[in-house]
Structure 1
Amino acid sequence: MRILLVGAAGKLGAAVHETLVNRGHSIVTVGRSSGDLRLDITDPAQITAAYDRAGDIDAVASAAGDVPYKPVVEMMPADYLSAFNGKVAGQLELVRQGTARIAERGSFTLITGVLAEQPIPTGSAAGMANGAVEAFVRSAAIEIAPQRVNAVSPTIFTESVADYGDFFPGVEPVDLERVASAYVRSIEGAQTGQVYPVR
């Protein structure tokens, strides 16, 4: 398959890229500052331009999303809007625009996360964003068939414990290799409307 991979330069994106290449897929990498195509996922016009330049695509995989982490009492309305724009709106727009751009039986794989169901202090914006992505996946799946849409919901990455482990006390980390396998399941499988937890 020819796959558009958004967020390819990050830890998760790099792992997904390597896994998909090793499985024989052709990858068009997309990132804000690196990759085959440059894209700010928060700008719908840039998403349009990326699809225009990408050519024929069988699947879209997103490993992109940015949210602020602050205590609720310190959050401002702009912070929640930033979380929505940074993780939700861009991924939704990849699907909205992409239905007319990818293969008839192509797929979308989005990224969410454990905080949709297992909150941590300072994680209200992330929980909100993840929950929105998951609700969208379930709703969109019933409308876009035979195209498919799923989400991958990991916990903290083993490779990120040194940086963020203190925010996830007692939470079992997962290797990026396992998370990348969930992307493979979504892209190469047949299910739709699924949120694949990686715990």
Structure 2
Amino acid sequence: MSFEGKRLVVVGGGSGIGRRIAADARDAGAEVIVAGRNPARVTDSGVRAAFADLSEESSVKALAEAVGEVDYLVTLASAPANGPVTTLDRDAVTRAFDAKVIGPLLLAKHFAPRFREGGAMVLFSGVAAWRPAPERTVMATTNGAVAFLAQALAVELAPIRVNAISPGIVDSGAWDRLGEAKDELFVRTAEANPARRVGRPEDVSAATLQLLSNPFTTGSVYHVDGGGRLA
């Protein structure tokens, strides 16, 4: 896939998956802007860093104005609010929706007039929407909302294409905080998944770039979960 001459904005690009998407798009010829609340985390050469806080509309508007015209936009921002429903903090729940649902809506609002012909957005959902689990109610709900948001935006913003990626368990660095329990989780996941392994950032990046570049795919959810939602 060639991205020569294309401008891509990756919001929440500080994650392992986000960094891989940015790097792969850059290597394919794109001009890449990685935006987030901590631009200092962006150290890759050939990638621009910018500030964006999806909980503040003024920040999203400023990002759009700074970027100007754009071909592609990917948003991976998340703010998990996990825990028993009986102990959930309302502010944490609001932050989760800001990152996954309200923030992408604001991105669509302020970037829609700036997309060039053939433009596309990719939102990030997640396997939790299809396999809800105890203490993951907010995660399941926000990820589920993303799937419907992609469909709705695909209709309203047409011919701008809007799709969603739903990753499963991916060895992106996010699970390193579990220590030795990470290995146990990955073994269980691999045993249950039809793919018989956990995901890698390059798996998700390849799917993302494909959705961005495919001119006849919109309003879809691309499951990159090794079949985890079926297990």
TM-score by length of 2: 0.80
The answer for the alignment partner of 2:223 in structure 1 is: 197
Q: How many residues align?
A: 199
Deviation readout 1:131-181 (Å, 9 max, x if unpaired): 111111111211211111011100111234443546788334211100001
Q: What is the rounded CA distance, in whole Å, between the counterparts of 1:10 and 1:162 in structure 2?
A: 12
What pairs with 1:39-118 in structure 2 (closer than 5 Å)? 39-118=52-131
Q: What is the rounded CA distance, in whole Å, between the counterparts of 2:144 and 2:29 in structure 1?
A: 32
**Identity across the alignment (%):** 27
1:163 pairs with 2:177: yes
In the alignment, structure 2 segments of 5+ residues that lack a partner are 1-5, 43-48, 191-197, 226-231
Contact 2:55 2:95 in 1 (8 A): no
Q: What is the rounded CA distance, in whole Å, between the counterparts of 1:5 and 1:81 in structure 2?
A: 22
How far 1:82 moved relative to its partner? Answer: 2.4
Q: What is the rounded CA distance, in whole Å, between the counterparts of 1:77 and 1:138 in structure 2?
A: 27
Deviation readout 1:31-83 (Å, 9 max, x if unpaired): 21115211111111111100101122111111211121111221143332222
TM-score by length of 1: 0.92
Deviation readout 1:69-121 (Å, 9 max, x if unpaired): 11122114333222211221111211122111211331111111000111222
Q: What is the rounded CA distance, in whole Å, between the counterparts of 1:70 and 1:178 in structure 2?
A: 29
The answer for the alignment partner of 2:46 in structure 1 is: none
How far 1:192 moved relative to its partner? Answer: 0.5
Q: What is the rounded CA distance, in whole Å, between the counterparts of 2:186 and 2:130 in structure 1?
A: 13
**1:194 maps to amino acid:** S
Which protein is bigger by CA-based radius of gyration?
2
Contact 1:120 1:167 in 2 (8 A): no
Classify the secondary structure of the residue corresponding to 2:163: strand
1:148 pairs with 2:191: no
Classify the secondary structure of the residue corresponding to 1:159: coil
Classify the secondary structure of the residue corresponding to 2:78: coil
